[in-house]
Amino acid sequence: MLRALIFDVDGTLAETEEVHRQAFNATFAASGLGWQWSPEDYTRLLRTTGGKERMRSYRQEIGAARPTDAEIAELHAAKTERYAGMIAAGGLALRPGVRELVAGARRSGLRLAIATTTNRPNVDSLCAACWGQPAEALFEVIAAGDEVSRKKPAPDVYTLALERLRIAPEQAVALEDSRNGLLSAQGAGIATLAVPSSFTGAEDFSEAQWRADSYQSADLPDFLRDVVAASNQPARTSA
């Protein structure tokens, strides 16, 4: 029996990756580093999960000695702060259908969780910007990338979410936009709905149990259409 929906964040709840790219580039410029990631660069770099990991991968790709790992950590902290300011200023919206799906899940009595590669401050910033609420008011469990030793495609963050929910893998469905996320969820034994984002449409989602073009009700598998339909119904109360 389905008991929980576990959401990825970037590219799943909202099309955040372009804002992340701009925040990285602005941080690089402010530091005098001289890096500039194009949309094509960033699409390729997204195959490496985690912002600090992405910077280290790019450093290796171009054969640079700097920034050092310590400098990368400082750059990433500055980028996180810049990203939060950018989305707080407006312009970021939830992907169409996400608001109704989350509301319907809550009214249906499903539990909601986050399993993301990004760090907790980015989760908080998105929920404040898009819902005007703290993340913990929306999601019972939040498992973030800075809490696990291995990021997606390793299953660690989904395993952590399951442990905190205290449910079995077969009682949850994961919602993902990337192949790394799909592999992570399935590595934890969780059936997955893949809804590619603007940066991940060319990736391979052949292992997903379900695939949709959007979170609009008509695109979703039947069991999630029923959840969305509940968004207009009174919240379920316990006996």
In the predicted structure, residue 237 carries a pLDDT above the cut 50: no
Residue 214 to residue 96: CA distance in whole angstroms: 7
Burial annotation 184-200 (CB, 10 A radius, 16+ → b, else e): bbbebebebbbbbbebb
Q: What is the pLDDT of residue 232?
A: 74
Mean of per-residue pLDDT scores for the chain: 94
Q: pLDDT over 90 for what percent of the chain?
A: 93
List residues with catalytic annotation: 8, 10
Q: What is the pLDDT of residue 234?
A: 62
Q: Vertex 169, ends 120 and 198: CA angle to 5°?
A: 50
pLDDT in tens, 150-204: 999 999 999 999 999 999 999 999 999 999 999 999 999 999 999 999 999 999 9
Residue with tokens 């008011």: 137
The angle, 0 to 180 degrees and rounded to 10, between the axes of the packed helices 120-130 and 69-88 is: 10
In the predicted structure, residue 236 carries a pLDDT above the cut 90: no
- Domain range annotation of the chain: 4-15+94-230, 16-89
Q: What is the mean pLDDT of residues 27-38?
A: 96
- Superfamily, domain 16-89: Putative phosphatase; domain 2 (1.10.150.240)
CATH dotted code for 4-15+94-230:
3.40.50.1000
Residue by residue, DSSP assigns 74-99 as HHHHHHHHHHHHHHHTS---BPTTHH
Dihedral sign computed on CA atoms, order 218, 223, 226, 230: negative
Do 158 and 184 form a contact (C-beta atoms < 8 A)?
A: yes
